[in-house]
Structure 1
Amino acid sequence: MKKNVLLTLTALSISAFGFTLESSGIENGYIKEKYGKYGAQNLNGMPSLSLPLNWKNSPKNTKSYAFVMEDFDAIPVTGFSWIHWIAIIPGTTTELKENSSLENEDIIQGVNSWISSMGGLNKNDASHFGGPAPPDKDHTYNFTIYALDKNIKLQPGFYLNELYNEMDGHILDKVTLKAKYKK
């Protein structure tokens, strides 16, 4: 029983106010292989099939969402946390379908860490989902969605620090979902 409850909580994250984030792309606490380095879809060597995500119980007055997928387990390997996906999502949206990063024109995406010298992609290619590819061990990935009280106006290819500056003082709530990907 304990194990089932823990696995359910890993695949479904809930904030203090009931704001939830979940993904059918995660099973038993692990991101399905097709969404990372073992998947068939890639963009110039970067895994590019984004996971499906959905969220519920957003705070009242949510005007937009900001989404960040980050790998803190990359710090010992790269010297920094690896950004896999950042996006600005319209406030009327409650889900991103599988492959939204390449197919959904309503989201504005910033650059991921595949733009770094370790990834070697150009800004255009790195402005999408860059799936998990842990080099040393299983890594844990943090998927965080922020409900915002304003519409964020950034251009495609924005940087994470620009997003955080725009969000400052405008976060109504946030929720983080965590899952691992196998080395």
Structure 2
Amino acid sequence: MEISSPSFKEGENIPTKHTCDGENISPALEIGALPEGVLSLALIADDPDAPAGTWTHWLMWDIPPLNGIPEGAAPGILGRNDFNQTNYGGPCPPLGTHRYFFRMYALNCTLNLPEGSTKDELLEAMRNHVLASGELMGVYSR
């Protein structure tokens, strides 16, 4: 499953607009062909280069099987990120260049997890339901 963005290409800089130094608005994501049988999508965006370990920036699930998510949109249920918020938290590295992974999962079910669930709860609920996945990686430094 291919994931891309009109805002940045794989491995390129994430525009300031989508970070804590700008508008902190989520980038638009484009989703390639979905597998047969997909009933919902889930999204995890995180930074494995954070000093304290992987930092979760955005969690969303029960997204309808779409071919894209518009900039600033949240068409699914939002989980609690590591900013302790249920929204998109853009890149905000304390120092150096960090990698940010936007991972989309095609699922054979809806998850019906409550809003504010954690990344671990999402991963557990998705277990054995992932039909396909794809990722887009961008970088950002301050």
Q: Percent identity?
A: 28
Shift of 1:107: 1.0
**How big is the shift at 1:24?**
1.1
Q: Verify the 8 A CA contact 2:57 2:82 in the aligned structure 1.
A: yes
Within 2, Cα distance between the matches of 1:80 and 1:112? 14
Counterpart in 1 of 2:120?
161
The 3-state SS of whatever aligns with 1:26 is: coil
Determine if the alignment matches structure 1 residue 100 to structure 2 residue 73: yes
Kept after mapping to 2: 8 A contact 1:140/1:181? yes
AA at the equivalent of 1:84: H
Give the Cα–Cα distance (whole angstroms) in 1 for the partners of residues 49 and 37 of structure 2: 34
Structure with higher helix content: 1
The residue aligned with 1:32 is 15
CA distance in 2, matches of 1:64, 1:150: 6
- Structure 1 runs of 4+ aligned residues shifted over 3 Å read none
In the aligned structure 1, how far is the partner of 2:58 from the partner of 2:137?
Answer: 14
Contact 1:35–1:132 (Cα < 8 Å) also in 2:
yes
1:130 aligns with 2:82: no
Tell me the distance in 2 between the aligned counterparts of 1:91 and 1:52.
16
CA RMSD of aligned residues (A): 1.3
TM-score, normalised to structure 1, is 0.73
Name the residue aligned to 1:63.
39
State the partner residue of 1:14.
none
Q: Is 2:95 the counterpart of 1:113?
A: no
Look up the match of 1:22: 4
Q: SS state of the match for residue 114, structure 1? A: coil
Question: Which of residues 41, 47, 55 is equivalent to 1:82?
Answer: 55
Under a length normalisation based on structure 2, what TM-score does the superposition of the two structures give? 0.93
For these two proteins, the number of residue pairs brought into alignment is 141
Asked if 2 retains the 8 angstrom alpha-carbon contact of 1:67 and 1:89, the reply is no
**Cα distance in 1, alignment partners of residues 44 and 65 from structure 2:** 18
Aligned residue identity for 2:80: V
1: CA distance between counterparts of 2:124 and 2:37? Answer: 20
Q: Does 1:149 align with 2:125?
A: no
Q: Distance in 2 between matches of 1:162 and 1:71?
A: 18
Question: Structure 2: which amino acid aligns with 1:83?
Answer: T
The one-letter amino acid paired with 2:64 is G
**Deviation at residue 94 of structure 1 after TM alignment:** 1.8
* Structure with larger Rg: 1
